[in-house]
C-alpha cells in the first residue's frame, strides 16, 4: 500500500491533560504497554519487509503524549531501535505535544529520540484551547512559559495554528507578529478548522467562510514574503507552495497529496488502525481494524472495506469538477476528514476548495514575481521585459517548460529512452 517510506501517526495514549473545545479526538484512558508497543513494532516491521519498505517514521502524539512517563519513552526508544536494527530498518521519530506537561525532565529524550525538536499547537487568538480548570488565557500562559523553557534548553519548537473567526478579525499582520515577534517562533503552519469528533456548540460554529479565509491567507502570504522570507522564517503551507511554484523541492501537507491513503496510517492506544489521528479515536465506522486482532498489518489493510473507501476517494470524485481545475496536481480533492465532518460524506471535494484555489493562485503569482526579482537582482533586467509579452510561452511557462526540458530530457540513457 505505502510508498517506499512508511509513516505512522502513533497514539500510545488516548488520554489528554487539557480540555480543548474543538478537539476531534474522543479521549479514553487507554495507554499502550511496552509489550504492546513491541507487538505493534514487529507488525510494522513485518509489513515493511513484505512491501519492500526500508524506513519508518513514527509521529508520536496522543491524546497528549506527555501524559506518558519519560521513562516509558526511554524504554520504548530502546526496544524499537533494537527491533529495527535486527531487521536492518531505519526508524525516525517525531513528537507532537501540547507542551502543557513539559518539564526539563523531557529534554534528554527529546534530544535523543526526537532530534531535539517538538511540534506543538497554539491559536491566535486562543479561543478553544483550555485547561480542565481555567480558560484559554490560563492555557496560553502555561504554554508560553513552557515553550520558552524548552527553547532556552535548545529545543526547536514548531507550532501548528488553527485559524478561527477571531484570527480573521485580527488579521494576518497581528497573527504573524504574535508568533514571530512576540514568541520568537520561526517555524509554524496554519491549518483550517473542522468539526471532528463528538459535536458541541463550538464545533457547530467552527467552519469559516472561504472568502474571508482566502483574504487572510493571501495577506499572510504577503506579510511572510516581506518579513519572513528574508529572515528564513518557515510558514507552512505558504512557504512550501512558493517553493513548489518556484520549481524548488517542497513538502506539501497531507491534505494536498494525491491520496493520503498512500501516505500514512494511524494507530491508537487500543490498537485501532485508521487513516489518521482525525479518525482513529472518533469514527469507529472508519476504523480499518485492530492491529492486536490481526495476524498481519497487510492482512488488516487488505481486508478493510473502510480503507478501500479512502483509497478510492480521489478517483471517485475527480470527475465532478476537480479534473477541470488548474491545480489538480496540487490538491486532488483535498482532505477526507474536512469533507466528512462538514459535508457528511467522503465523496465530495474539500469544503475549503475555494480557499485552496485562491491560495494556489496567489502563491503562484508571488513565486513568479520573486523569480523575476531574482533575475533582476542579477542584472537580467531584460527578463522582466520579456515577462508579460503575451507570447505563446507566457511568463509562467518560460521557466516551467524550460525546467521540464532540463529535468526530463528526451534522450535518456539506456532503457529509459523509450519512455521519455
* Residues engaged in binding another protein (CB under 8 A): 1, 3-4, 50-52, 245, 247, 258-259, 262, 301-302, 308, 311-312, 314-316, 318-319, 323, 326-330, 332, 364, 374-375, 378-380, 382-383, 386, 391-394, 396-405, 407-408, 410-411, 415-420
Q: Among residues 77 and 302, whose Cβ is nearest to another protein?
A: 302
Say if residues 371 and 383 touch (Cβ distance below 8 Å): no
Smallest gap from Cβ 156 to another protein, in A, equals 29
Nearer to another protein, 205 or 321 (CB): 321
Among 46, 71, 81, 97, smallest CA distance to 277 is for: 97
* Distance in Å, CB of 331 to another protein, minimum: 9
Closer Cβ to another protein, 3 or 169, answer by number: 3
Residue 364, by phi and psi: left (phi above 0), alpha (psi -120 to 50) or beta? alpha
To the nearest whole angstrom, how small is the minimum distance from the Cβ of residue 39 to another protein? 23
**Alpha-carbon span 280 to 274, nearest angstrom:** 5
Task: Give min distance, CB of 328 to another protein, in A.
Answer: 4
Nearer to another protein, 33 or 420 (CB): 420
Element (H, E) at 7: strand 5-10
- Comparing CB distances to another protein, the nearer of 231 and 392 is 392
Ranges assigned E (strand) in 194-330:
234-236, 264-267, 272-274, 289-290
Please name which of 255, 280, 252 lies closest in space to residue 265, comparing C-alpha atoms. Answer: 280
Beta carbon nearer to another protein, 251 or 401 = 401
Report how far apart, in Å, the C-alpha atoms of 113 and of each of 209, 317, 395 are. 40, 40, 46
Pairwise CA distance, residues 164 & 328, whole Å: 27
Q: From the CB of 401, what's the least distance to another protein, in Å? A: 6
- Specify which residues 190 forms β-bridges with: 161
Instruction: Tally Cβ neighbours within 10 Å of residue 55.
Output: 14
CB of 323 to another protein, least distance (A): 5
Q: How near is the Cβ of 418 to another protein at its closest, in Å?
A: 4
Closest by CA to 192, choosing from 356, 364, 20, is: 356
In the complex, the smallest distance separating the C-beta of residue 99 from another protein, rounded to whole angstroms, is 35
The residues, any chain, with a CB within 8 Å of residue 361's CB and separated by 6 or more, are 327
In terms of C-beta density within 10 A (0-12 exposed, 13-18 middle, 19 or more buried), how is residue 384 classed? middle
**What's the rounded Cα separation, in Å, for the pair 381 and 388?**
13
Q: CA 66 to CA 69: how far, in whole Å? A: 7
Decide whether 217 or 245 has the Cβ nearer to another protein: 245
Backbone region of residue 233 per phi and psi (left: phi > 0; alpha: psi in -120 to 50; beta: other values): beta
Residue 101 or 346: the one with the smaller Cβ distance to another protein is 346
CB of 177 to another protein, least distance (A): 32
**Given the complex with another protein, which of 34 and 251 has the nearer CB atom?**
251
Amino acid at each position: 500500500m505505502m510508498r517506499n517510506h512508511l509513516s505512522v501517526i502513533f497514539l500510545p495514549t488516548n488520554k489528554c491533560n487539557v480540555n480543548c473545545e474543538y478537539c476531534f479526538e474522543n479521549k479514553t484512558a487507554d495507554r499502550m504497554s511496552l509489550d504492546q508497543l513491541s507487538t505493534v513494532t514487529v507488525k510494522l516491521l513485518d509489513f515493511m519487509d513484505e512491501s519492500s519498505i526500508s524506513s519508518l517514521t513514527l509521529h508520536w502524539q496522543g491524546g497528549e503524549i506527555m501524559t506518558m512517563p519519560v521513562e516509558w519513552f526511554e524504554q520504548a526508544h530502546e526496544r524499537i531501535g533494537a527491533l529495527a536494527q535486527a531487521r536492518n530498518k531505519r526508524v525516525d521519530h517525531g513528537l507532537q505535544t501540547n507542551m502543557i506537561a513539559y518539564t526539563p525532565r523531557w529534554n534528554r529524550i527529546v534530544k535523543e529520540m526526537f532530534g531535539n525538536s517538538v511540534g506543538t499547537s497554539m491559536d491566535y487568538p486562543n479561543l478553544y484551547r483550555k485547561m480542565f480548570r481555567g480558560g484559554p488565557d490560563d492555557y496560553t500562559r502555561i504554554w508560553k512559559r513552557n515553550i520558552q523553557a524548552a527553547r532556552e534548553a535548545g529545543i526547536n519548537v514548531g507550532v501548528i495554528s488553527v485559524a478561527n473567526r477571531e484570527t480573521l478579525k485580527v488579521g494576518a499582520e497581528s497573527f504573524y507578529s504574535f508568533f514571530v515577534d512576540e514568541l520568537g517562533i520561526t517555524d509554524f503552519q496554519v491549518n483550517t478548522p473542522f468539526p471532528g469528533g463528538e459535536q458541541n456548540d463550538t464545533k457547530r460554529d467552527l467552519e469559516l467562510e472561504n472568502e474571508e479565509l482566502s483574504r487572510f491567507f493571501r495577506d499572510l502570504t504577503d506579510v511572510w514574503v516581506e518579513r519572513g522570507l528574508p529572515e528564513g522564517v518557515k510558514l507552512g503551507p505558504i512557504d512550501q507552495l512558493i517553493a513548489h511554484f518556484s520549481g524548488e523541492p517542497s513538502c506539501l501537507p497531507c491534505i494536498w497529496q494525491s491520496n493520503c491513503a498512500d501516505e500514512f496510517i494511524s494507530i491508537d492506544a487500543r490498537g485501532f488502525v485508521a487513516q489518521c489521528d482525525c479518525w482513529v479515536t472518533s469514527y469507529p465506522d472508519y476504523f480499518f481494524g485492530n492491529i492486536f486482532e490481526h495476524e498481519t498489518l497487510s492482512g488488516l489493510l487488505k481486508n478493510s472495506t473502510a480503507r478501500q473507501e479512502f483509497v478510492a476517494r480521489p478517483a471517485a470524485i475527480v470527475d465532478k469538477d476537480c479534473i477541470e481545475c488548474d491545480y489538480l496536481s496540487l490538491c486532488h480533492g483535498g482532505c477526507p476528514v474536512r469533507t466528512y465532518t462538514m459535508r457528511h460524506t467522503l465523496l465530495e471535494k474539500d469544503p475549503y476548495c475555494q480557499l485552496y484555489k485562491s491560495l494556489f493562485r496567489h502563491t503562484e503569482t508571488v513565486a513568479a514575481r520573486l523569480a523575476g526579482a531574482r533575475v533582476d537582482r542579477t542584472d537580467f533586467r531584460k527578463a522582466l521585459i520579456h515577462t508579460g509579452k503575451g507570447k505563446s510561452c507566457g511568463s509562467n511557462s518560460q521557466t516551467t517548460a524550460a525546467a521540464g526540458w532540463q529535468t526530463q530530457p528526451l534522450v535518456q540513457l539506456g532503457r529509459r529512452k523509450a519512455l521519455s
